Amino acid sequence: MQLGTRWTSGEKPPAAVPVALHAQIAAVERLLPADQLAHQPTPRWTLTWLEGRPVAELDTGVIVSLDADGQAVVRKDDEDEFA
């Protein structure tokens, strides 16, 4: 069993977050609008595991996960990942 975790965007991901996701997580965080964040709580990431693969979801709906080839993929939660 693999347990998930939560952390605040802008912080170093916890050790439970696979290194394969770190670059894409950082890329997503660089795109967060600073002026919007000043007026709202800082979004947090949630790491879960789906069929043995890590899935990191930001409160904004952005998801970073690994595809079948082990490559990090970024999508929004309203997009079909199989499209």
Domain count, the chain: 1
> What per-residue confidence (pLDDT) applies to 82?
45
> What per-residue confidence (pLDDT) applies to 80?
56
Structural domain containing residue 42: 5-76
> What per-residue confidence (pLDDT) applies to 83?
43
Q: How far apart are CA 11 and CA 30, in angstroms?
A: 12
Tell me: the pLDDT tens digits for 9-29?
Answer: 999 999 999 999 999 999 999
> What per-residue confidence (pLDDT) applies to 36?
59
Q: 83 lies in a domain?
A: no
Q: 34 lies in a domain?
A: yes
Sheet with 44-50, strands from edge to edge, namely: 5-8, 44-50, 53-58, 62-66, 72-76
Q: Which regions in the chain score pLDDT beneath 70?
A: 1, 35-38, 79-83
> What per-residue confidence (pLDDT) applies to 40?
76
Q: 42 lies in a domain?
A: yes
The predicted model scores a pTM of 0.85
Sequence letter at residue 49: W
